[in-house]
Amino acid sequence: MPVARFDEAGRLAVDAALERGEAVVLPTPSPLAYVVAAKTVSAVNRAKGRPRDQPVALWEPRFEQVAPHLALDEAERRRLGWLLGVERVTALVPLASLASLASLASDDGAPGWLAPAARFGMALLFGVAWEPLAWLLERHAPLFVSSANGAGALPAVDLRQALAGFGPEVWVLDGDALRDRARPHASTTTLRFVAGRGWEIHRRGIQDTLRANAGRSDYLADVLARADAALFRRPFARRHDGRAGRQARRSPPADRDGPVLLHGCRGRRPRHHAA
């Protein structure tokens, strides 16, 4: 399997693979796992060995490109931007309308760029911005992205696992030296915004599990309070659902496996629903 380093030759190899329409495996910052990314959904799913139309997330770190197409008020858009860019969760959020997808297909310069990450009026967004990958995202975003694993396997959290999970035609960018391998790693927590209910945990992942493992409960309340403190200068205390002053209703997360089990360099790997 071809391995690219973080040097000029590695950048050229990854850049060329994306230009050819291929999927590449990329590192993301600790404590997140590696991901597989491409310019098309079919390329991501082909690399993972699963049906070509299976849902994946849109990777567009320039949030201002996505925000106008979401059925969120201004306060919730700002909160979502913080959740994606600072907390680095994945988010499932409502689109302004299904009709808006048809208009996107004819937009000059971005034909259909959002529609492949949308199902049933909801879009799945991955917004991680990371300086070591800035050159790639500036050139190729938006990309489509999923966890770096083959069908039925667990997400890769280091180069060795990434190499084991994909065929020899898939380039892997080695980011192990840029990550803290002593920390546990896993795929992101996915949050979901539901009209009338607010934010919920859709799929458990590394962010909420790290909090649970530290003996602190209620990740959702904590992360929304931190977002509000950063954005609106609100006291760092309460859970919010996006409508000022109202507490969010709790909703059971769509994760039948319960909290994931984490691992670092050794130990058990997390149970995880791959994106």
pLDDT at res. 112: 74
Q: What is the pLDDT of residues 178-194, one digit of tens each?
A: 999 889 999 999 999 99
What is the pLDDT confidence band of residue 52, given thresholds at 50, 70 and 90?
Answer: confident
pLDDT at res. 37: 98
What is the pLDDT confidence band of residue 237, given thresholds at 50, 70 and 90?
Answer: low
pLDDT at res. 82: 96
Q: What is the pLDDT of residues 238-258, one digit of tens each?
A: 444 444 334 444 444 433 333
The domain 3-232 having CATH identifier 3.90.870.10: the answer here is yes
Residue 22 · residue 38 · CB < 8 Å: yes
Bridge-based pairing of strands 122-126 and 90-94 is antiparallel
